[in-house]
A and B are shown apart, each in its own frame.
Chain A
Amino acid sequence: DTAVSQTPKYLVTQMGNDKSIKCEQNLGHDTMYWYKQDSKKFLKIMFSYNNKELIINETVPNRFSPKSPDKAHLNLHINSLELGDSAVYFCASSLGNMNTEAFFGQGTRLTVV
């Protein structure tokens, strides 16, 4: 009974392709996020959704488009993949108030070749 699950765990693809990463949480949380962890392990928020509404859209190329069909799902679609998109992408969810932790998925390691 995984709390936050994202698929796939590994994704290897060629430059220029379009790919999606799926995320689902069964915790009943209102808020979901996408984070990017670069090769130096630095984690940075990309997007935040609350009840399917986009709250945060950090400075991310518009090739990245999140989609939230319902509050339990937040998928990440990436168009025209570039070498620099190679990273680990984490989905997370939380109750949406300040003092509660975020629960992270296991991460998706994206490698663009």
Chain B
Amino acid sequence: AQKITQTQPGMFVQEKEAVTLDCTYDTSDPSYGLFWYKQPSSGEMIFLIYQGSYDQQNATEGRYSLNFQKARKSANLVISASQLGDSAMYFCAMREAGMYSGGGADGLTFGKGTHLIIQP
């Protein structure tokens, strides 16, 4: 079973509109972290935002916010006031606590990504 599901392979959005990119996850581990990355056409992976499973508040970073609904196991990325430069692939990823102490060495499990295109 997929651990991270991104149901929107592609999205077209008008510039300046808000965008919601969907992500659902599957884990039985009570301790996990959720991450969003952006990959522009140039290919690099850019970290955007992080949400921990025990965090009470939704994470925000500038124009990015994470709509975390733990009971539904969803972690949607919201981009406010979209810009042409937001056009890119967006990946949701999860790290579980895992067997290794701290879980950091377990690496990230990625979803298949959403290709977002912002139209002028």
Contact = CB atoms under 8 A, between A and B. Distances in A.
Contacts of A98: 31-33, 52, 95-97, 102-104
Interface in A94-113: 94-104, 106-107, 109
A26 B96 CA distance: 26
Interface in A56-89: 56, 88
A110 to B, nearest CB: 13
B103 A42 contact: no
**Interface SS, A side:** strand
B47 A102 contact: yes
A93 to B, nearest CB: 10
Given A42-B112, A43-B91, A101-B50, A31 B44 contact: no
Nearest to A95: B104
A31 to B, nearest CB: 5
Interchain residue pairs A-B with the least CB separation, the first 5: A104-B45, A98-B103, A96-B104, A45-B107, A55-B105
Interface of B: 31-33, 35, 37, 39, 43-45, 47, 50, 52, 89, 91, 93, 95-97, 100, 102-110, 112-113
Given A100-B104, A104-B45, 17 more contacts: A31-B104, A33-B107, A35-B107, A40-B112, A41-B39, A41-B113, A42-B110, A44-B110, A45-B109, A56-B106, A88-B43, A96-B102, A98-B33, A98-B96, A102-B47, A102-B107, A109-B43
